[in-house]
Amino acid sequence: MRAMPFLLLPAVVLVAQAPATPNLAQRFNSELAGITQLLKELKTQEALAKVQALMPAQRPGFDVSSGPAMSASLDNAQGLMSLYKLQAKVTSEAGLWEKALEVQEKRAADARAIKADQDKVQAPILAQWAKVSQESRDYIAKNEPRKKELEAGIAAFKAEFATVSAEVKSGKRKLTKKELDEFNARGSKVQQDEQDLAQINASLPVHKQNLDAAPKVAKMLGENTKEMDGMIKAADEAVVKAKTVVTEQNDEITAFNTKQVMQKVKIVGKKNWVDAVLRNHENFTKLGSTEDQAAFLNRLLVLDPGNAMATKALDNLKAGKEPFAKEAKSGKKSPKK
């Protein structure tokens, strides 16, 4: 759970960009188990249709109207990245590696776009807080000494006033009109000083609170930025990985076909390579899980649509058999005559 200050800016109206699609993290979390189960049951096309229906029509924006809104925006961004990751996984298991690469590229592009939105709306907040912090530092530097000066002056006048009043009442002293006018003038000035002191006493805690809050807000916004940077980094790494898988397989097929041509074997698209892979059953047994085997067979069927051996192997897996299980021969031998 992200810690968010209750107040982002003192007396500032924020212009926010509301998220276009809320609760994407919740959407991902609620649907993940069902899609994962479909993949385990080798219902790849159903899983693909379901995950595609989950993708939002447009990426979410970034809302800074409050701390909770910021947190929701980051959750939405993370939810979108998770949905892309899931879509790429399902697309890949359907054998559509090139499409899975496109999904990862879209994931990276959207992560950068959300980061741009984030930077755009967080920059004014940082600038505002920098201004507020400087104003608060200046106010404190000027008015803390002024506060002490006013307190001392007010206290001195009140002490003097008490002494003179006592002397006048006791008859020990009599003020001339000039002295009385001066005393009254000083009293009026002290009343103004008391008002100024009250204003300073009320304002100093607010400015000190601003100085205390400013680094916390900066830290929060920095963590927001760091979180988005992490999403971009993860997306970029996924793009590289997906691209590498496609490139390496294409290079392997090209190298294989080149050898076949040198041996004067007729090349039919990628069928020669697919058939060679299918003939070596170890290519599948080393994959371990039924889901991984089915995913590889789906890939082979994308490379060579309708391949009979791959289709049969996939049907066997769906029926709970080994991919290359031999069919039992039926019927009895005819008796010799």
Q: Over the range 156-169, which residues count as b (16 or more CB within 10 Å of their CB) and which as e?
A: ebeeeeeeeeeeee
Highest mean pLDDT among 19-28, 96-105, 158-167: 96-105
Q: Residue 328's pLDDT band (boundaries 50, 70, 90)?
A: low
> Cβ contacts of residue 305 below 8 Å, gap of 6+?
none
Q: Is 4 in contact with 67 (CB distance < 8 Å)?
A: yes
pLDDT at 174: 87
End-to-end CA distance of the chain: 85
Q: Whole-model pTM?
A: 0.80
DSSP for 7-21 reads -SSTT--------SS
Q: Is the dihedral of CA 51, 53, 57, 63 positive or negative?
A: negative
Distances (CA, A) of 178 to 85, 133, 167, 182, 185: 88, 48, 17, 6, 11
> Cβ contacts of residue 70 below 8 Å, gap of 6+?
2, 4, 8, 62, 63, 64, 220, 224
DSSP 8-state secondary structure symbol assigned to residue 22: -
The predicted model gives 180-195 an average pLDDT of: 91
Q: Is 239 in contact with 104 (CB distance < 8 Å)?
A: yes
pLDDT at 63: 84
Q: Is 84 in contact with 104 (CB distance < 8 Å)?
A: yes
Q: Give yes or no for residue 232 having a pLDDT over 90.
A: yes
**13 vs 42, residue with greater confidence:** 42
> What CA–CA distance (Å, rounded) separates 250 from 270?
10
Structure tokens at 165: 């009043």
Across 158-167, 183-192, 221-230, 262-271, least confident range? 262-271
pLDDT at 79: 95
The predicted model gives 139-155 an average pLDDT of: 95
Q: CB atoms < 10 A from the CB of 131, how many?
A: 11
Over the stretch 68-110, which tens digit does the pLDDT of each residue have? Answer: 888 899 999 999 999 999 999 999 999 999 999 999 999 999 9
Picking from 117, 103, 3, 108, the residue whose alpha carbon sits closest to that of residue 60 is 117
User: If you average pLDDT over every residue of the chain, what do you get?
Assistant: 88
The predicted model gives 170-193 an average pLDDT of: 89
> Cβ contacts of residue 187 below 8 Å, gap of 6+?
157, 161
Structure tokens at 304: 């060579």
Q: Give yes or no for residue 8 having a pLDDT over 50.
A: no
pLDDT at 20: 44
Across 27-36, 44-53, 156-165, 319-328, least confident range? 319-328
Across 143-152, 176-185, 197-206, least confident range? 176-185
| 145 class by beta-carbon count within 10 Å (0-12 exposed, 13-18 middle, 19+ buried) | exposed
DSSP for 228-293 reads HHHHHHHHHHHHHHHHHHHHHHHHHHHHHHHHHHHTTPPP-TTHHHHHHHHH-THHHHTT-SHHHH
The predicted model gives 288-298 an average pLDDT of: 94
Distances (CA, A) of 280 to 271, 277, 286, 325: 15, 6, 11, 14
Q: Give yes or no for residue 186 having a pLDDT over 60.
A: yes
Q: What percent of the chain has pLDDT over 70?
A: 91
The predicted model gives 176-195 an average pLDDT of: 91
Distances (CA, A) of 151 to 17, 131, 147, 202: 48, 29, 6, 14
Q: Give yes or no for residue 15 having a pLDDT over 70.
A: no
Q: Residue 332's pLDDT band (boundaries 50, 70, 90)?
A: low
The secondary structure element, H or E, covering residue 91 is helix 67-93
